[in-house]
Structure 1
């Protein structure tokens, strides 16, 4: 997703530098062929840019890239902005915001939803937390990537993304069970899909993943193992202060268990639509 987002910014005429932990990946080579400049470290990247987007896997990755001694904060110029589009923890977003402000810089937590297709087509839902005026200033960049919604103070973007992932997980589970039930009932699953997609069962999740599930196309737009992480940030809440609330989420807990089953089956690097394989395994397929 990060490479697709970077490509859109390049296509819009912005000069772009990037840092990649694995610069030999095809996505990194593609960005260079489009005119992007490869930086040698997060610090060097920060020194050359006014706005830095991050798209990483897990909160520890964000902490390392942003807060380590050679991280982005070590090279930021005054009034620069870090925009973290990773699905990360609200408490870490608040920590990064506070650290950036001490350096006369800004940080926005802006996780995205829409998968690989949304990133490619510039139709991501961008869920932003931080200073409202800074988010407004960034809107011309966000408009290239999708639609931004300002959710509130630092950390609110990440909290919104956790809520988003709870809804997405429930939709993926319902779609998986509906397709497996239809097959067991002797129906043509493709015909079922066409019959219900325009009714109350229809959803963006169905449009993004239904045909992929039926065709057993499990190429990742987002890794299943990341969904375990995202749901865990909602389900496994540990009290960290007065502003952290423990919430009971039985459906999200079940979804997390099932996605964890994918990981246990060795399928953590498949796309989230691969959840149907867990339901199929439970039914002897």
Structure 2
């Protein structure tokens, strides 16, 4: 297993959106040579100003990299940037490592791993949790699937982006763990929104209420980080509603395949569909409160 180090290991990064931009930036700040591709080139320009080389395809990124990271929107995007004609594998060579940090289908992660293995390439699935703030602060939770030696090689890089890095098992296990994470979040977000609406309807001072409940048994990351955004009318995306819908659909499909009933997740999916239908598809997941407020004829603030 080759170790990684700045000046020796060439990195590639594909996808510089809300999460990817900050995550890639941590690796650049650590001194790594970085080659970048983004479907919208303008979003990658700030990274060029920090020393990254910008390419016009994932294939070109792979040709100049020893380890390539991808974090894109949907499974179809993962398939295109990795397995497509201009994808990573088209520009790859034996001994490379691919790390997909998109939340995607476990079956696709296994397919990619099998395809890569045939080409003597290591493939790792490493979806993350922690939102835009976790990406900016380098405190993400990273759930990792893949061969142990390949995971050990990239772990120093993952540590630059996250605080909790756990190897969950073979290919696809990182994605399955992320589905557990999203199942927990789906019903948790419903409860947060309902609690805030209850406090509003009864006339409590909600920031004062949060001081009491956030530090007790009801506390959670989402309550501490997203409830204040809801109160401020801040619905900028730390994580898009449309991406959360994608994640929930993956979890529900996996559950159906296993003959497993997840009624809470199903409810969350329907309520987020309502939020999307009301125009919040590109807002953050905290915009769920707007859908539930509308259900209760409550005029919730929508601007800071």
Could you tell me the TM-score, scaled by structure 1's length?
0.96
| 1:129 paired to 2:145 | yes
Matching residue within 167, 178, 182 for 1:161 = 178
Is 1:102 the counterpart of 2:118 in the alignment? yes
* CA deviation after TM superposition for structure 1 residue 237, in Å: 3.4
Consecutive unaligned residues of structure 2, counting only runs of 5 or more, are 1-18, 299-304
Deviation at 1:204, TM superposition (A): 1.0
Q: CA RMSD in A?
A: 1.1
Aligned twin of 2:287: 274
Q: 1:57 aligns with which of 51, 67, 73?
A: 73
1:213 match: secondary structure: helix
Compute the displacement of 1:29 (Å): 1.4
Could you tell me which of 10, 28, 34 is aligned with 1:16?
34
Taking the aligned partners of 1:208 and 1:37, their CA distance within structure 2 comes to 34
In the TM superposition, 1:1-285 aligns within 5 A as 1-25=19-43, 28-146=44-162, 147-237=164-254, 244-285=257-298
User: In structure 2, what is the Cα distance between the partners aligned to 1:120 and 1:269?
Assistant: 20
CA distance 1:208–1:64, change in 2 (3 Å)? same
SS at match of 2:72: coil
CA deviations 1:211-250 (Å, max 9, x no partner) are 10111111101101111110111113387xxxx5131000
User: Quick one: distance in 1 between partners of 2:274 and 2:258?
Assistant: 27
Secondary structure at the aligned position of 1:201 is classed as coil
- Aligned mates of 1:236, 1:94 — CA distance in 2: 16
Unaligned runs of 5+ in 1: none
Aligned counterparts of 2:57 and 2:249: Cα–Cα separation in 1: 30
Per the TM alignment, residue 36 of structure 1 is displaced from its structure 2 partner at its CA by 0.5
- Give the secondary-structure state (helix, strand or coil) at the position aligned to 2:23: helix
Cα distance in 1 for partners of 2:297, 2:284 equals 21
- After TM superposition, the runs of 4+ consecutive aligned structure 1 residues lying more than 2 A away are 236-239
**For the residues of structure 1 that align with 2:255 and 2:219, how far apart are their CA atoms?**
35
CA distance in 2: counterparts of 1:237 and 1:265, whole angstroms:
27
Distance 1:34 1:191 in 2: 42
Residues in 2 aligned to 1:276 and 1:195: alpha-carbon distance in whole angstroms: 21
Distance 2:235 2:174 in 1: 28
Q: 1:190: Cα distance to partner?
A: 1.2
Query: How far off is 1:173 after superposition?
Result: 1.0
Asked whether the 8 Å contact 2:235–2:284 carries over to 1, the reply is: yes
Aligned length: 279
Cα distance between partner residues in 1 of 2:118 and 2:254 = 28
